[in-house]
Structure 1
Amino acid sequence: MAGSALAESDCKQDYHFCGKNLAEKYGDYDARISASLERAGMDVMDHVKQESLFFCKKGGQVIWQQYCDSCVINNSWGGASDFCDENPDSTMVLDAELTEV
């Protein structure tokens, strides 16, 4: 957490910061997200091109992923439980590979 003064709520709202932060850390974050979505049985959707960190599967089921490493607290992805509480029929998809450098 060193070097980051961002609150979890700030990060949840600032998708462009999250995408930039992740791109600086991983370099190939688009490819990693695409691979993660494919493993989840999803097509890469328009959400990716607008750098949103929310991915939705059509047909009523919401798949939620957040890739902002400033919000990852090593025991959970920041904001994930709040989102799932607010969307009880959603499925949270966590990809441990994205936490590795």
Structure 2
Amino acid sequence: MADPTRRRLLDLLAAQGEATATTLAERLPVSRQAVVKHLAVLDAAGLVSGGRVGREVRYAVRPAALDTTARWMASLAADWDRRLAHIKRVAEAAEAAERDAHPAPPD
């Protein structure tokens, strides 16, 4: 998910419903072979599935897997927000204690 090409592939598949690697490569600045490799990673992660239709392999998004991933990412973001808020409180308290210990001289 961290790779921008993979995110773009997910966006394209979500918009189109399903597509071949060739069709997807036409909309990206990478080769068809690169698209196939990215799709293999997304498939291994369970985010897309590929099904053979004649000679073509058509890929589609697995919505349930994306929902699970989105919930996990939201939970992770909330944890980081809490951690950063704690760091901010500690830093502000330390700054206030430093100011109280060494007040500025009067003008």
Pick the structure with more helix per residue. Answer: 2
Pick the structure with more strand per residue. Answer: 2
TM-score of the pair, normalised by structure 1: 0.30
When Rg is computed on C-alpha atoms for both structures, the one with the higher figure is 2
